[in-house]
């Protein structure tokens, strides 16, 4: 009989523990890394100078401590550029394409099949394909009929308004009749179903809207957290778009008027969403972005503030396109960092796709650039050298590094555009107000014209989609070189 040796119990326990740990390490290595959640909060017509960290806050009648703190917890950009109108900027963010390519280059005024064709691939569709739960709460402005609403463009659910906030003023206007002009309705919908109208969007609902968007965003994050599913929550706030009024609970809070009360409310709503992220234990694995869709509100008495820049929305001046932008992802994106590197709204989709492992389509021109290495601090430089700036369907300006070329002169949305016989060229470092009497060097025309030429060459292979193009849309077959 062969003698057997019994291992001491202590040594057996150590070996068992080591084996279990090794097995756990192998299993963990075999599992994909947990994908980060995405909370994108987009303000509507929030000027560059409104928030405390951008020189506003108390100067505008209301401190913005929660948004300011968010900026310090991540990276804040001082040279984030959007399209100068609501519809184009949202289209660009969600598709990664200049809105001129998608037929979404201007705010639609009705009478056409406005919005994005279903051929466009949105960030929501890409994230849904990658296994994310997706939701939009708030303003859409990329199509107001079934087939072109958020639940037709990649969002599992949505609640909000299909068009814009100023229509809330219609029901209370003297002589208004819904038989003559149908009011805008608050709507909701789910993927695979038709959206339904809930109630007329009037001034009472306008005051309540952003509080409701905040509540629904928090509820969505709670549901997905409990389900263990990564999420993309797009909270498209309606403030401060005119009429710029606060919720009744905030009216009179600051003592400095509606605008300041509204700004204080916005800051508190953002704080509620951030608190929910922390309460759910999702802080370290959630990318939080706060931005504005374009420059400051123009119409009085609700006019906003562009800080040091000239112009407001609907203009190619810096005040029309340069917006607040901050992004937080603890452990991935450096905290307390401020950069003046050039970034564009079309960069959001490719960047988020890289951070989440989602797909960016490769069968069409994508104007956005992946900014993940720059935002994560792996490089100090943005890969972007310049942007093209359209106002409606006019190429109005070109920006290359700190230089700007204007092809048209247009002071604001109510001024007619005037084609310039000789372009204005500005150095934004020495002439941030884009003063026509202080011109920049003409040699910068060379790289700017190359940018225009490259874009125009791409349209020969991939023609621009005209505004009002109905579904189904299929691009023409590209000619073989």
The set of catalytic residues is 86, 141
Angle at 214 between CA 208 and CA 217, to 5 degrees: 135
* Residue 206 falls in which region: left (phi positive, over 0), alpha (psi -120 to 50) or beta: alpha
Alpha carbon distance 405, 400 (integer Å): 8
As a whole number of angstroms, the distance between CA 152 and CA 116 comes to 10
Residues composing the chain: 481
> Distance between CA atoms of 259 and 300, rounded to whole angstroms?
11
Q: What span, in angstroms and rounded, lies between the C-alpha atoms of 444 and 401?
A: 10
**Eight-class DSSP state of 36:** P
How many whole angstroms from its chain centre is CA 314?
Answer: 17
Cα–Cα dist 45/296, whole Å: 5
H or E element at residue 354: helix 348-356
- Count CB atoms within 10 A of the CB of residue 478: 11
DSSP state of 84: S
Tokens 């940018």 locate to 451
């Amino acid at each position: 009989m062969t003698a057997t040796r019994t291992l001491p119990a202590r040594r057996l326990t150590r070996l068992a523990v080591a084996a279990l740990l090794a097995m756990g390490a192998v299993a963990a290595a075999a599992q994909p890394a947990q994908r980060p959640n995405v909370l994108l909060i987009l303000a509507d017509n929030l000027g560059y100078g409104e928030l405390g960290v951008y020189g506003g806050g108390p100067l505008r009648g209301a401190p913005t401590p929660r948004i300011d703190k968010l900026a310090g917890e991540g990276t804040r950009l001082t040279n984030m550029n959007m399209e100068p109108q609501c519809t184009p900027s949202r289209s660009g963010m969600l598709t990664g394409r200049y809105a001129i390519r998608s037929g979404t280059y201007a705010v639609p005024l009705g009478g056409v099949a406005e919005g994005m064709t279903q051929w466009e691939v949105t960030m929501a569709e890409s994230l849904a394909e990658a296994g994310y739960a997706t939701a939009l709460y708030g303003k859409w402005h990329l199509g107001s009929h079934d087939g072109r609403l958020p639940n037709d463009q990649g969002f599992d659910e949505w609640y909000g308004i299909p068009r814009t906030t100023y229509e809330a003023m219609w029901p209370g206007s003297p002589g208004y009749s819904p038989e003559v002009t149908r009011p805008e309705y608050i709507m909701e919908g789910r993927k695979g179903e038709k959206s339904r109208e809930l109630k007329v969007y009037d001034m009472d609902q306008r005051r309540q809207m952003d509080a409701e968007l905040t509540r629904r965003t928090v509820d969505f994050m709670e549901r997905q957290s409990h389900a263990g599913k990564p999420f993309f929550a797009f909270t498209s706030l309606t403030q401060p778009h005119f009429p710029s009024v606060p919720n009744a609970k905030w009216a009179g809070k600051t003592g400095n008027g509606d605008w300041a009360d509204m700004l204080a409310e916005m800051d508190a709503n953002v704080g509620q969403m951030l608190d929910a992220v922390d309460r759910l234990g999702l802080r370290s694995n959630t990318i939080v972005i706060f931005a504005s869709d374009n420059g400051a509100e123009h119409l009085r008495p609700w006019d906003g503030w562009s800080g040091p820049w000239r112009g407001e929305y609907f203009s190619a001046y810096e005040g029309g396109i340069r917006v607040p932008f901050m992004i937080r992802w603890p452990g991935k994106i450096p905290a307390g960092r401020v950069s003046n590197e050039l970034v564009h709204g079309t960069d959001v989709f490719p960047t988020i796709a890289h951070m989440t492992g989602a797909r960016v389509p490769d069968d069409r021109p994508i104007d956005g650039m992946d900014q993940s290495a720059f935002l994560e601090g792996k490089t100090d430089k943005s890969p972007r050298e310049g942007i093209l700036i359209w106002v409606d369907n006019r190429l109005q300006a070109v920006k290359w590094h700190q230089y700007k070329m204007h092809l048209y002169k247009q002071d604001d949305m109510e001024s007619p555009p005037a084609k310039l016989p000789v372009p204005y060229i500005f150095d934004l470092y020495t002439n941030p107000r884009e003063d026509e009497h202080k011109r920049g060097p003409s040699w910068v025309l060379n790289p700017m014209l190359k940018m225009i030429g490259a874009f125009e060459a791409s349209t020969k292979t991939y023609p621009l989609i005209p505004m009002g193009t109905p579904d189904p849309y299929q691009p023409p077959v590209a000619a073989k070189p």
